[in-house]
Amino acid sequence: MTQTIKARVLVTPRREVLDPQGDAVRLGLHSMGYDEVADVRVGRYVELSLTGSRADARDRVREMCERLLANGVIEDFSFTLDEAL
């Protein structure tokens, strides 16, 4: 069945990789008085609207992540699929 599907992709730096952007945000928050912040990691959020079947979408979105949206050397990804309203 063809339908509109929304894929929500999270791309995050791998645990063992330095995250200078996260460090900058943490320091910024500390300087503003948010001393309770122990760690910050900054990643990307990508929302895709696609047409097609849900079964195909899962494989295709995984492929898009591996080929373009995430850099497998330094990043992890995860995603969920929703049918769009």
Between the alpha carbon of residue 44 and those of residues 23, 27, 65, 73, the distances in Å are 16, 20, 12, 16
Q: Contacts with its own copies in 50-79 (CB under 8 A)?
A: 50-52, 57, 60, 64, 67-69
Is 81 a binding residue for its own copies by CB under 8 A? The answer is no
- Cβ-contact 13, 36 below 8 angstroms: no
Tokens of 84: 């769009």
* Residue 37 is a binding residue for its own copies (CB under 8 A): yes
Where does this chain bind its own copies (CB under 8 A)?
4, 10-12, 22, 25, 28-29, 32, 34, 36-52, 57, 60, 64, 67-69
